[in-house]
Amino acid sequence: MLRKVSVLLAMIVFLLTAATADAGYAMKLRKYTEHGRIYSVKNFDAKLVWHVTFFSDDFRKAFEEKHVKLHHMEDQMEISQYLAEQEHEQRAGWDFFVGFYTKQEYKQFSSESDSFWKIHLTTGSGEVIKPIAMEMIPIGPYEKKMFPYLNRWSKAYRITFPKVDLGDKVTLTARSVAGKSVLKWKLKK
């Protein structure tokens, strides 16, 4: 009887810990994700719908914990290697994960000069920064679990900007002849 109670208590503690970790990630995801839209005034067709998650130091830590849990990582060497890779990425630049939907004729989105959509970051001091890397990310079950705003019409990108002092706020702007959308994050110092 005592053994059954012990097993039951262990299962409850495990489930509560797992639920707390998931709730913590969901809370951080909401805090660091913004979204914007551009619609046609003629017929209300969506020209752009985008959701962007800013990989702040705080969010990356929650992301790492969720990744380790989703991939059932138990080997400390594997976990340490993954965390070191994430730390290197965080030191190298500011990452933004972008879920991007746009109509077919507006699809081109890259860091090339001929891209239909141009994107830039503006720091709290007003400095405008261009991305140093833009990578299209294939969307699979992992990406949909980590970023639930992705849907079957989304394209996913990881956009990296140089590591500069962001100040107390940061804005990300997507613009083209179809319109302009600005997303804003307030940062604590």
pLDDT at 10: 45
Per-chain mean pLDDT for the chain: 84
Cβ–Cβ < 8 Å for 121, 171: yes
Domain ranges of the chain: 2-186
Radius of gyration from C-alpha coordinates of the chain: 19
Higher pLDDT, 23 or 180: 180
Instruction: Provide the b/e sequence for 119-132 (b: ≥16 CB within 10 Å).
Output: bebbbeeeeebebe
Instruction: Extract the tokens encoding 34.
Output: 């913004």
Whether 131 shows a pLDDT value over 80: the answer reads yes
Instruction: Extract the tokens encoding 35.
Output: 């979204």
Mean pLDDT of the 56-71 span: 91
DSSP-assigned letter for residue 105: G
At 185, the pLDDT band (50, 70, 90 cuts) reads very high
